[in-house]
Every structure is written in structure tokens, then in C-alpha cells.
Amino acid sequence: MQEYSTRPGSIGILITVICATAGFIITKYFMNENLIQYASLPKTISFKVHDGAKSGDDSVIFNLPVISKFPIDTFSHETETKSRVVEENVLFHENPYFPVWAMLVLVMITIASGSVPVFVGQVWQLKNNFNLDWKQIAIGIGFAILMVVFLVLSNSSVRGYYHPPKILEDFHILFKNGNLLLGIVVATTVLVLPVITAMFLIGPASDNLLRDGVNKDNIEAVANKLEILNQSLRSALQVLAVIVVFTVLTSGTLKETIKGILEIKGYDIFPTEVSYVYGIFFSLFLCVIYFPIYFYLKQKYVHLKAIAAGMVELGDKKEKVLEAVDFKTSAFDNLKMALTVLAPLISSFLPENLHFFK
């Protein structure tokens, strides 16, 4: 009798929990170490703007007043007092949006950290079950890295936009180092590398699956493995969708957090539309990765279906074999798939409409 060992699965669960917890603890540590409870804001800020003139000085300088939104600033500052002193515990009370943003970031990092061992294991399973060679795996990792680099650079190189890390640095608010925000973005994208890698390996895995041909003896096994690839792709999409939703939500709450600290007359320091842009951008990112892989995998299913149709010897078993692969094409299933991919776009409107964000 063949023994069944639960040890690998049990170890995987523990590693996932440990990675998720470690991501939470490390992120919280860096946030707490860099936290700024209160900042004395400047009375004015100057913006130097190039007006596009062809000759002479083509820049204009605007001096705009800065207004503190901290309710505590309506009271006088004292350096010494005989009353009881409570040190530092000010920020969460003066700006209640900030703890909401911080918790959303922690949840996002925790999910991303927990996904690492899961999808590293999935990449390993794809290698073993579908005979992927190291060259194919290296190419998958390379494409995933290029995608991550593109996401980071495309978001940090937008001109005409006052980036939140620079806002934090210029006004010395929230964190001692404004690049902590950039670090959160980089850490999140790096943590989803295994997820993206697994998605890019599904195409080569499906090629290897059908490379040796299909016959009446192995068609059922081929169909089952094709469904495994389909489920892997669906799982990767769901994880990425969740991460992207939290990315957009953190953008919306960060906007409220910054606006809860200061206001610049005549200048919208964090436009609401930025959250919409994030939703549209990351929805496009999901579509660009997911749809080509999905349709390529479905093409393999159509090919398998055509082979099965020509096998008269399968008889009644033919339908059972094809039902093992869940590639339904009903309008309802297509709608579910579309809603999954468009979830980040829909969520980009949530921060503006949820009552507790008001």
C-alpha cells in the first residue's frame, strides 16, 4: 500500500504563515521607526514652473500660502508647561485617515509576502510536472523582472505630477524619509515576482504538455493537466487583482492623509483623479498579462478538443475527458472573468465614495 505523506503540504502552510507574518512585522517596524508625529509647516511654498517661452527666462515662480489642517495648530505652542505632558501620541488623533492607510499597506504587504512561497512552490511544480527546463524558467523570471521594472519606472517618471514621496520630503510630514513610500511600492512589486513568473510559465508548460502528442491512452491525463494550468492562471490572476485593489485603495487613503495635514491655496496637492489613473493603469497591466496567456491556453484546449473529436475509440468517455477542463464560454462566465480583471478599475472609485473615508 502506497503511503501518503502530508509533510510537504504542512511545511508549505507554515512557511506561508511565517512569510506573511514577517512581511507584516518588517513593514510595521520601518513605518514606526520613520514616523513623524507632528510637523511645523512653512507659511508659504514657491513653485517654479516653466511656461514654454522660446526666448529669455521661460519660468514663472508662484508663492502659495500653506494652511495647516491639524486641529491642534489652532492652539498656542508651548515649550514648558506645568500641566501633565503626554508625549508624541498625536498623529492618529489629528489625522484619522493615516491609520487606515497604514493598515491597508500592512494588509497588502502581508498578502504579497504570503504569496511568495505559494507561487515559488507553484513554479517548482510547473517545472517538475510539465518538464520545463531551466532556460524556460529563466526566460519566465526575466520577463517578470522586466514587467516589475516597467511598473516601478512608469509610476515614478510621470512629469507634471507632485509625487507623494517628494511631498513628504519637502514638508517633512508623516515619515522622516519620503522614499519609504517608494520602498513600499518596490517591495510589493518584488514580492509578486513569483506570481508573474508562474503566469509566464503557463504558456511553455502547455507547449510541453502537447509536444509528445495525444492518444487515447494519455488524453485524460493531458486534459487534467491542462485544467491544472487553467487553475494556476486563475489563482495568479486573483492574487494580482487583490494586490492591485489594495494598491489603488492605499493611493486614495494616502490622498486623504496628506490633505488632512495641509492645504495649499490655489493648488490641489493630490488630485482625486490620481486614484482613477492608478485603477486604469493597473487594470491595463492585468489585461496585458492575463488575456494573452488565457487565450493561448484556450487555444490549446480547442486543439485538444479537435483531437478528441477524431478519436472514435473514446466513445462516451470523450465528453467526460473534455469536461475535466473548465473552459466554458457562456456569457455569465465571460462576465465573471471581465469583472475579475476590471476589479481594480472599479475599486479606484471606492475611496471617494466610502463614507468612512469622508
d(CA 115, CA 124): 14
What angle is formed at CA 272 by the lines to CA 267 and CA 273, rounded to 5 degrees? 105
DSSP 61: E
- Backbone dihedral angles phi then psi of residue 178, each to the nearest 5 degrees: -65, -25
pLDDT at 350: 52
Cα dist from 140 to 134, 144, 195, whole Å: 10, 6, 11
pLDDT tens, residue order, the chain (358 aa)? 344 444 555 787 889 999 999 999 999 999 988 988 887 888 888 877 776 665 556 677 888 888 888 777 777 666 554 555 555 677 777 788 888 899 999 999 999 999 999 999 999 999 988 888 899 999 999 999 998 888 877 766 667 778 888 889 888 888 988 889 989 988 998 999 999 999 999 989 988 888 877 666 777 787 888 888 888 888 888 888 888 888 888 888 898 899 888 888 888 888 877 777 777 787 788 788 888 888 888 888 888 777 777 776 666 666 666 665 666 644 345 445 555 555 555 555 554 444 443 4
Stated as kind and residue range, the H or E segment containing 242 is helix 219-259
Check: CB of residue 137 under 8 Å from CB of residue 125.
no
Question: How buried is 272 (Cβ within 10 angstroms: 0-12 exposed, 13-18 middle, 19+ buried)?
Answer: middle
* Residue 63: strand, helix, or coil: strand
pLDDT at 272: 79
Phi-psi map region of 213: left, alpha, beta (phi>0 left; psi -120 to 50 alpha)? left
Check: CB of residue 340 under 8 Å from CB of residue 235.
no
- The separation between CA 160 and the C-alpha centre of its own chain, rounded to angstroms, equals 24
Closest among 294, 280, 275 to 352, alpha carbons compared = 275
Check: CB of residue 68 under 8 Å from CB of residue 268.
no
d(CA 233, CA 289): 10
Closest among 201, 16, 196, 17 to 118, alpha carbons compared = 16
One DSSP character per residue, 1-14 reads ------HHHHHHHH
Q: For residue 172, what are the contacts with CB-CB under 8 A and spacing of at least 6?
A: 36, 39
Cα dist from 331 to 66, 159, 231, 238, 336, whole Å: 53, 41, 20, 20, 9
- Backbone dihedral angles phi then psi of residue 83, each to the nearest 5 degrees: -80, 170
The cell for 287 is: 489585461
pLDDT at 62: 82
d(CA 328, CA 334): 8
d(CA 185, CA 337): 26
pLDDT at 354: 46
Beta bridge partners of 59: 50
Tens-digit pLDDT profile for residues 223-243:
888 888 888 888 888 888 888
Check: CB of residue 143 under 8 Å from CB of residue 200.
yes
In the chain, the N- to C-terminal Cα span, in Å, equals 63
d(CA 62, CA 49): 8
